[in-house]
Amino acid sequence: MTTRRAFLASTSGLALAGFGAPGGAVARSLGPDALPAGALGASELAALPGKVPLIKKTWRPPNFETPIASLREAFTPNDAFFVRYHIAGVPGVDARAWRLEVGGDALDRPQTFTLAQLRSEFEPVEIAAVCQCSGNRRGLFDPHVPGVQWGYGAMGNARWKGARLREVLARAGVTRGAVEIVVDGADGAVLEATPDFVKSIPAWKAMDENTLLAYEMNGEPLPHWNGFPVRLVVPGWTATYWMKHLTSIRASSTPFEGFWMAKAYRIPKGVFPTVDRFLSQEAEASTPITEMVVNSLILAPGDADRFRAGQTVEMSGIAWDAGAGIVSVDISVDGGRSWRAAELGPDLGRFAWRQWRHLIPSLRTGTHTFVARATNRQGMSQTQALVANPAGYHHNVLHRVTVQAG
């Protein structure tokens, strides 16, 4: 477990293990060339305690991206999983002293739970699900928008194990008057003027059988940087709702009005194909971001890779959505003029990503643009053109890589 002292040391810039500055092969590991030059120039590979080298975007608060090579496994290793924080005060948490307070005006019986109680008194449930920052690929927006300039790796796929939130709420006597469930974590602001990171989800989403209070990740206790000892897991929804270091759950009969709901993580109303609407938080022109959009990523080959003419090349990647399930991935080797079906890997669960591959038996001499396009069971697919929005959310433009053969 990472102590507060270790955290402060790591984020001071002195204890981060550096692994090279932009240049040569290392530069390619720091993200796509389409990222702003300043963002690439400021990035470096660095290791937080308990993590392998990740792409450091900011160190206070800690924001670290998973290199694309670490996304090739069915489940992203815990030590390679991306790290995302909004405020810099990230304390170490003693699991023995940790308590979860469950209260609010829409509960009959406020409760306090220990970690041991969550583990022993509620049915353990495990769900495979993609956890993806709402702003993943923000750095690829053109024109660029403010915020952490993420490339492709503010995401990961893991097996999350814990208790169903609805069972915990039932134990506390949640009432029909509950409109939203408000969640808070142990992290806090360093400056008094910074709003604490507090979120809410609609009561109906909290009562979904897939919404968990997770204490394990890929068969191990949650890593410190990914929410130890307990985090909220909301499969299919972007990670802004996946509260880390959870300490408080409040059932509220009125909509929550905190900054991170009323002002942040909002998208223009009616622009994206939203199925899971958060009606109690909708405004005239905007709505909270909720579920992820259909997306895919080419993991191999890499952009600017070179091959011999006539060489057999394997394309591979991942595809995911909000939980309807991926049914097909089509790939193109000629920039989107013609398409063919890729072979899908095992179905790891409706909220997990789906691996895919396609063999190109003989690559002709010249420049080739490979493209991937995913489609889910609802018939939704990726977009050809960027859907502009001020915060840089939901980037799901068809992914392209250009390779040379000769």
Q: Which CATH number characterizes residue 329's domain?
A: 2.60.40.650
Q: Which amino acid is at 198?
A: V
Residue 293 has pLDDT above 80, yes or no: yes
pLDDT value for 274: 86
Which of the four pLDDT bands, split at 50, 70 and 90, describes residue 222?
very high
Same domain for 22 and 149: no
pLDDT value for 28: 53
Q: Which of 293, 338, 344, 346 is nearest to 320 (CA)?
A: 293
What is each CA distance from 69 to 40, 65, 249, 292, 299, in whole angstroms?
17, 12, 37, 22, 7
Predicted TM-score of the model (pTM): 0.92
- 88 in a domain, yes or no? no
Same domain for 245 and 123: yes
Same domain for 143 and 242: yes
- 85 in a domain, yes or no? no
Residue 50 has pLDDT above 50, yes or no: yes
Q: Which amino acid is at 63?
A: N
Where does a domain end: 288, 318, 349?
288
- What own/partner pairs with CB < 8 Å and gap ≥ 24 does 307-310 have? 307/363, 307/403, 307/404, 307/405, 308/405, 308/406, 309/363, 309/364, 309/365, 309/405, 309/406, 310/362, 310/363, 310/364, 310/405
Same domain for 113 and 66: no
* Under 8 Å between Cβ of 134 and 237: no
Same domain for 254 and 114: yes
Which of the four pLDDT bands, split at 50, 70 and 90, describes residue 42?
confident
Three-state SS at 352: coil
Residue 7 has pLDDT above 70, yes or no: no
pLDDT value for 9: 38
More confident residue, 17 or 107: 107
Domains in the chain, number: 3
Same domain for 284 and 299: no
Which of the four pLDDT bands, split at 50, 70 and 90, describes residue 19?
very low
Residue 260 has pLDDT above 90, yes or no: yes
- 90 in a domain, yes or no? no
What is each CA distance from 183 to 104, 163, 283, 358, 359, in whole angstroms?
11, 16, 21, 43, 46
pLDDT value for 385: 94
- Rounded Cα distance between 274 and 288, Å, is 10
Residue 265 host element (H or E): none
Let me know how many helices (H) and strands (E) the chain has, helices first: 7, 25
Same domain for 301 and 284: no
Owning domain of residue 328 = 295-405
pLDDT, tens digit (0-9, with 9 covering 90-100), for 370-382: 999 999 999 999 9
